Amino acid sequence: MLKIKGENMSKSSDINIQIALDDITHKFTPERFSISRLPLKVGRLDSHRFGTALPSCLDMLIYVPGGEISLPEVYKYDPAIMDVINQAVAHEDQLMPSWRDTHYIYITVDQRMITAGRTHRNGGWHFDGMQGIRYPEKLEVCHQYVVSDNNPTEFSNVVVDATQLDEAKDNWFVELGKQVPDDTELFVPETYDIMMMTAYQLHRSPVAKPEHEGQRTFIRMDFTKKKFDRIGNTINPTLPAPFEFYPRPLPFEISPEAKQSDWKGASQFKS
């Protein structure tokens, strides 16, 4: 399997920028999976590094439309996290200046020890931003900014067909993952590269090799019109959510290619 490293990836070519812009300004549709795409490199962390004792959080609300970004102190005073946020927001302002009146921002911080032969996060091919049967009237698609400091996320530009999949019955991750050949090229950014992707971008957490063993920090920012109101998402004590939280089982589970790493060395943010 060929890995194309970050220095050989096209940095936000005009065609990839236009694809991303078309993605995020139109409502979710299965037909868009049939377009070959790569994530956009929007920046990198050149001088800042993540703290080594960060608590982990999942889909924590940090911005509501028309408001201001609000973070708990443990994240607000981490220079690397603030650098990621500032670069993502600056890119968002250029790409879609109207986002401040329409979109929420959620952040995921996942810092833990990884071991060889396991993935840090979800190992199977998947995408972020499934709308499913909860949204019969589709919204403009979610898009994300991701960065990690060890063993970065792997991306695929393989064209897949989602037009025959049923939101209520099919596991889209498994079915689309089957369409990615085992010998496909993998597009892998450099550590500390900040990458933007949309809901149509297939990606996965890589299986760690011995040289990757140790701590890995992964950051994801979601820009979306969706209300991430599932019980289990991290509550931000500095920003009350303008919606209620409900038990929402996932419509289907990701089928990982390798077991995720144990949560050794990880701590959970407590509000």
Query: Which strands, in side-by-side order, build the sheet including 214-224?
Result: 40-44, 193-198, 143-148, 214-224, 104-114, 57-63
Report the domain count for the chain: 1
pLDDT in tens, 179-224: 999 999 999 999 999 999 999 999 999 999 999 999 999 999 999 9
pLDDT in tens, 89-128: 999 999 999 999 999 999 999 999 999 999 998 779 999 9
CATH of the domain at 126: 2.60.120.10
Per-residue pLDDT band for 137 (boundaries 50, 70, 90) equals very high
CA distance 27 to 38: 19
Q: Is residue 51 part of a domain?
A: yes
Q: Are 167 and 132 in contact (CB under 8 A)?
A: yes
Q: Is residue 249 part of a domain?
A: no
Q: Is residue 200 part of a domain?
A: yes
pLDDT in tens, 167-176: 999 999 999 9
Q: What is the mean pLDDT of residues 229-254?
A: 87
Q: What is the domain extent for residue 174?
A: 3-224
Per-residue model confidence (pLDDT) at position 1: 56
Q: Is residue 189 part of a domain?
A: yes
